[in-house]
């Protein structure tokens, strides 16, 4: 139990050295992550759609 308490104290001490973002920075970074995630999802969806169409055409040509 003593080591656990020492660990918690060390963690708490380290957290005082952390540079926390401001509220506005946190909101901005969150929105940025959401926008980039949506953009990547749309891009991957478009690639999937194009490759699916291409493979379907390739399969139809072989029949």
Give per-residue pLDDT as tens, 7-48: 999 999 999 999 999 999 999 999 999 999 999 999 999 999
Distance, in Å, from the CA atom of 63 to the CA atom of 60, rounded to the nearest integer, reads 5
What pLDDT is stored for residue 63 in this prediction?
Answer: 64
Cβ distance 21 to 29 under 8 Å? Answer: yes
């Amino acid at each position: 139990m003593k080591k656990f308490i020492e660990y918690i104290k060390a963690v708490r001490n380290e957290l005082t050295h952390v540079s926390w973002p401001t509220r506005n920075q946190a909101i901005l970074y969150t929105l940025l992550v959401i926008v980039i995630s949506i953009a990547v999802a749309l891009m991957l969806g478009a690639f999937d759609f194009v490759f699916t169409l291409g493979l379907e055409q390739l399969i139809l040509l072989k029949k």
